[in-house]
Structure 1
Amino acid sequence: MLVISAKSGQLGNRLLSFANFIAFAIENNFTVINPAFEEYADFFMSTSEDFLSCYPSPVVSIPGNKFLRKYYYDFNRFLAESGRFKTINIKRDRPFSWSNSIITKELKSGSINFFQGWMFRDGWFVDDLSNLQKHGEKIRAYFQPLNKYQLNVANLISQIRSETDAIVGIHIRHGDYQEHQNGKYFYLFEEYLKVMESAKALFPNKKVTFLICSNQRQKEDYLQHLSYVYGNNHIIEDMYSLAECDYIIGPPSSYSMWASFYGKRPLYMIRDVNKTLKIEDFVHFYQWQGVFYPNEDWSKSVWEWTH
């Protein structure tokens, strides 16, 4: 049994981490339980009905609530740090990968193995993409949002599609990105507009509508020359609406990466706001590559995307 007993990042990172554990578990006949998914478990069909957040889903399960999930997470943290069980700490000084880690050779399916640390952050899992691709449909089925969220997403996308030829999702990450990596990927709204205009030019004979999803409301005065719709301003509905777009654009972020994975849509990660886009710049999830640059100060370690 594999137990994810520590939290790393927010929704996108937690989903990618959980997905990587599931893919490994399917390949190697393990069970995964994820107490660290507590804040997000109630958004998804499988985990909302199972307070253990277990894969494969148990035959008999108990729905959770905030109190039960919080207690369950704290209890597993206690067990992981008690020394009574095998606890594997994943350090942040280099990427962790199932495919090249000596840890995987020590795991036994009949034992309990707690995992702590910053796992599979952003692109640190590229060596394991083949397993994510192989088991992608099972993973997507497990992470279907509740029906009410699916319905809201379907209604939004259906309305947009009825009035346009192509939908380009724009993930504008403000808020925490002003501090993240010293603001390296914090772009002003005017800079996002440059990228949007470049994307629109890729479809000269089509009407392009931009679906804008952001953690901060933007100035609509700048958008008058573009066809655009704002997302529903809900953490799950925005992510899964991006997954339904024809193309996705955003800064390097696990949030839009999950949308790309789940919807099987090509994604362009903005690293140069002045770049003139080509259609080849939109890359499917399984094609991503990059280089890891370690630093003694783990907060300055960087995964630099090369494609």
Structure 2
Amino acid sequence: MRSRKRIIILEHGGGELSNQLWNFISIYAHCCQQGYNLENYSFSEYAPWFKIPLKKPLLFIFFFFPFWVLEKLGGYETVAASFLFRALKKYIRFVYGWYAAAIKVLYTDRIVSSDSGVIRLDNTALQNPFEKILAHHASAYGTGWLFRNYTGMKTYRKEIQEYFEPQEKHKRKASALVNGCREKYRYIIGVHIRQRNQWDTRVSFEEDCEAWKTYAAKPFFYPLHFSFVRVFLKSYCDFFHKNPNETCFVICSNKSVPEEDFPGMHCVLSKGNCIEDMLTLASCDCVIGSDSTLSALSSWWGDIPLIAMQENPDWGYYTDKKGYFENKYVTAVHY
């Protein structure tokens, strides 16, 4: 039986779907453990992709409804819809920012912020900042994207996946893609290549290349280096004795991927949005991915191994990995 206490995610701290979901899921797992109610007022951009209930009609009308309308009109697939989504997201975040600022002024003593670093919710109640507030108040507010609760995510996996169930059309698209591959190939390997956002035009092509060369010393996530990804996938097949003729790589990325850069390999390119990419990757046998929150979340969702793309891969590290695990080479998640 749930108590009347509740945790409200007031601000998600920025970032795209997977960043927000790591945060959202971690806090929800804590609420499952404690019997609290959870509300996320900042999830308006991606709420139409899920069946998560919203209990505040006024908040729905002002912050969520525009995204539901856009989704009902066909989603964000077209160039025009994608542009409208970005413009709408910017506007809603601006307006919602004023609402969040007012709440923080009114309830200063009930705010828990992870802006300064990771807050682990699987700690004891004495160390958990939400518990300290809820010992004296009926509600607490969370801000920032670095709340983590891996013990709770393991314990309440079933409850989490029921609560965060995606809409049927997204599940169907992911299933159709992967099932089609399984009819032809023995091994289905998900590949996630994280690239700079398509609409980020603040830098030139040359500056973009240099930025990715220095970003966490991972130059191979930029399209200029798809040759690295190709070599990495071949090395994977060699080490794990996967017959290339029986192996299909399902490639997901936030930008276009030239299929001709993977000659002699059986590749299928996903053209879905980020929730469909997550479900697609999660349905594969394993994920080979960039050091990103989406790669790791797909691994957790499907309970499959994640192999991080590196210049000098530690293949031996993965030989005994059968399901999801906290990969020591994946730093973006902040395990």
Fold match by TM threshold 0.5 = yes
Q: Which amino acid counterpart does residue 108 of structure 1 have in structure 2?
A: L
| Distance (Å, rounded) in 2 between the aligned partners of 1:281 and 1:269 | 15
- Pair 1:32-2:38 in alignment: yes
Question: Structure 2: where are the runs of 5+ without partners?
Answer: 1-5, 69-88, 198-207
| Structure-to-structure mapping, 1:96-135, within 5 angstroms | 96-100=119-123, 101-108=127-134, 111-120=138-147, 125=148, 128-135=149-156
Q: 1:102 to 1:140 in 2, by over 3 A?
A: closer
Other structure's SS at 1:175 match: coil
Contact 1:171 1:214 in 2 (8 A): yes
| Distance (Å, rounded) in 2 between the aligned partners of 1:116 and 1:181 | 32
Other structure's SS at 1:198 match: helix
Other structure's SS at 1:115 match: strand
Q: Of 124, 129, 137, which aligns to 2:158?
A: 137
Q: Which amino acid counterpart does residue 182 of structure 2 have in structure 1?
A: R
Partner residue, 1:260: 299
Query: CA shift at 1:243, angstroms?
Result: 0.5
Contact 1:195 1:274 in 2 (8 A): no
- Count of aligned pairs: 280
| Distance (Å, rounded) in 2 between the aligned partners of 1:12 and 1:183 | 19
Q: Which amino acid counterpart does residue 169 of structure 2 have in structure 1?
A: K
Q: Which amino acid counterpart does residue 83 of structure 1 have in structure 2?
A: L
Q: Of 178, 191, 199, which aligns to 2:236?
A: 199
Contact 2:191 2:251 in 1 (8 A): yes
Q: 1:290 to 1:192 in 2, by over 3 A?
A: closer
Q: Which has the higher helix share?
A: 2
Residue-by-residue CA offset, 1:27-69 (whole Å, 9 max, x unaligned): 112111101111010001224xx3659xxxxxxx999512799
Q: 1:44 to 1:273 in 2, by over 3 A?
A: same
Question: Structure 1: where are the runs of 5+ without partners?
Answer: 54-60, 293-301
Other structure's SS at 1:200 match: helix
| Distance (Å, rounded) in 1 between the aligned partners of 2:314 and 2:330 | 23
- Pair 1:14-2:20 in alignment: yes
* TM-score between both structures, scaled by the size of structure 1: 0.79
| Structure-to-structure mapping, 1:86-235, within 5 angstroms | 86-100=109-123, 101-108=127-134, 111-120=138-147, 125=148, 128-176=149-197, 179=211, 182-184=214-216, 185-187=218-220, 188-201=225-238, 202-205=240-243, 207-235=246-274
Contact 1:33 1:52 in 2 (8 A): no
Contact 1:165 1:208 in 2 (8 A): yes
| Distance (Å, rounded) in 2 between the aligned partners of 1:281 and 1:192 | 23
Residue-by-residue CA offset, 1:155-174 (whole Å, 9 max, x unaligned): 11111000000111000111
* TM-score between both structures, scaled by the size of structure 2: 0.73
Q: 1:180 to 1:82 in 2, by over 3 A?
A: farther
Q: 1:283 to 1:14 in 2, by over 3 A?
A: farther
Query: CA shift at 1:281, angstroms?
Result: 7.4
Q: 1:261 to 1:76 in 2, by over 3 A?
A: farther
Other structure's SS at 2:166 match: coil
What's the % identity of the aligned pairs?
A: 22
**Coordinate RMSD, CA, aligned:** 3.2
| Distance (Å, rounded) in 2 between the aligned partners of 1:303 and 1:212 | 21
Query: CA shift at 1:5, angstroms?
Result: 0.8
